[in-house]
Amino acid sequence: MTEQITINGKKVYEGTVTFVSKGYVKITLLSGDKGTLFLNEITDLPINLISHFKVDSKIYVLIKKRCFDGTLVLSMKGLFNKNVSTYSKRESLYCTAISTCNLGTFVQITPDLIGLVYNIYLQKGTSLLASVCSIDDINHRISLVPESVLYDEPDARVNLNYGDISIAQNVAEECAA
């Protein structure tokens, strides 16, 4: 394997997304190895993979195992997310609206972390910058206050980054779905 880097003490590999469905993402690593990243290897939360991954975008993944036919089972679990206790009040976060409820809008912060922006109702797929208002360590929840809406068009795109590393290109193509 080549093109290995270390993120949060874990060996990860760069690859390119070749196919996206509701349950998995097909990825080709720079070494030429092909693998599958299943939804349960990204998060335990119900997210729309088609909204988070785009064909030909670059992505960093962990190699979980190699199957008998040479294909890889890949993972992103715990790679880029933070535990809610590591966030601090007034910290600014990039997030994407995923649904609304009577309290406000639920937003995706990382694949494993969803927050709530109270009393603001945004269209699904809207990207925004929000600051942390309160943290609930017991229930693993975070509430946010919006700072600014970045993209509110259904076809708007935003690149999500971890430092100078692009995690995935977030495309709000299925906002109306």
What one-character-per-residue DSSP string does 26-85 give?
EEEETTS-EEEEEGGGT-SS---HHHH--TT-EEEEEEEEE-TTS-EEEE-TTTS---GG
Q: Which residues lie across from 62 on neighbouring strands?
A: 75
Sequence-distant (≥ 6) Cβ neighbours of residue 119 within 8 angstroms: 103, 104
What pLDDT score does 72 carry? 92
pLDDT tens profile 37-89: 998 888 766 777 877 788 888 888 888 888 888 889 998 876 655 567 777 88
What pLDDT score does 176 carry? 35
What pLDDT score does 1 carry? 44
Q: Walk along the chain (177 residues) and give the pLDDT tens digit of each residue.
A: 445 666 555 678 888 999 999 889 999 998 899 999 998 888 766 777 877 788 888 888 888 888 888 889 998 876 655 567 777 888 888 888 888 888 888 888 876 678 889 888 888 778 888 888 888 777 677 889 888 876 655 444 444 444 555 544 443 333 333
What pLDDT score does 112 carry? 66
Query: Which domains does the chain carry?
Result: 4-75 (2.40.50.140), 84-171 (2.40.50.140)
- Separation between Cα atoms, residue 27 and residue 68, nearest integer Å: 18
For residues 152 and 122, is the Cβ–Cβ distance under 8 A? yes
Indicate the pTM of the whole model: 0.50
Q: Which residues of 91-115 are buried (b: 16+ CB within 10 A; e: fewer)?
A: eebbbbbbeeeeebbbbbbbbbbbb
Handedness of CA 54, 52, 28, 166 (dihedral sign): positive
For residues 56 and 49, is the Cβ–Cβ distance under 8 A? no
